[in-house]
Amino acid sequence: MKTGITDYMVRTNQIEWAPLVEAGVNTKGVFVKVLRYDEQTKRAPTILLKFEAGASYPYHNHPGDYLFTPPNFKHAVKSETGCVLLFMIPEEVEILKVE
């Protein structure tokens, strides 16, 4: 096991933004920096997301408990002017179809 704090530090300014790619989801204008990747689950539970002006993410659900997002609270995300957000997502989000 690594024991130095620098072994677990991510220098975000040294990571390039990559387009967010999700099958079947329009993620145009949304970019990601992976801060932690979990080899066991094969997913990144901690990321930075950058939304360009006008970018959006569709209506969805976060299964599980969150401090400021109640269980089963469904929402979409859109930025009119652009933003950077820190996400800690212990489980995959569920994309919902708006009827």
Question: Where are the domains positioned within the chain?
Answer: 12-95
- How far, in Å, CA of 74 to CA of 20, rounded? 20
The per-residue pLDDT for range 36-71, each reduced to its tens digit, is 999 999 999 899 999 999 999 998 876 674 445 666
Q: Which carries the bigger pLDDT value, residue 39 or residue 73?
A: 39
Query: Residue 70 has what pLDDT?
Result: 62
* DSSP SS3 for 95: strand
Query: Given pLDDT bands bounded at 50, 70 and 90, which one contains residue 17?
Result: very high
- How far, in Å, CA of 69 to CA of 37, rounded? 22
* DSSP SS3 for 66: coil
Supply the mean pLDDT for the chain. 85
47 bridge partner residues = 34, 87
Residue 30 identity: V
Query: Residue 68 has what pLDDT?
Result: 56
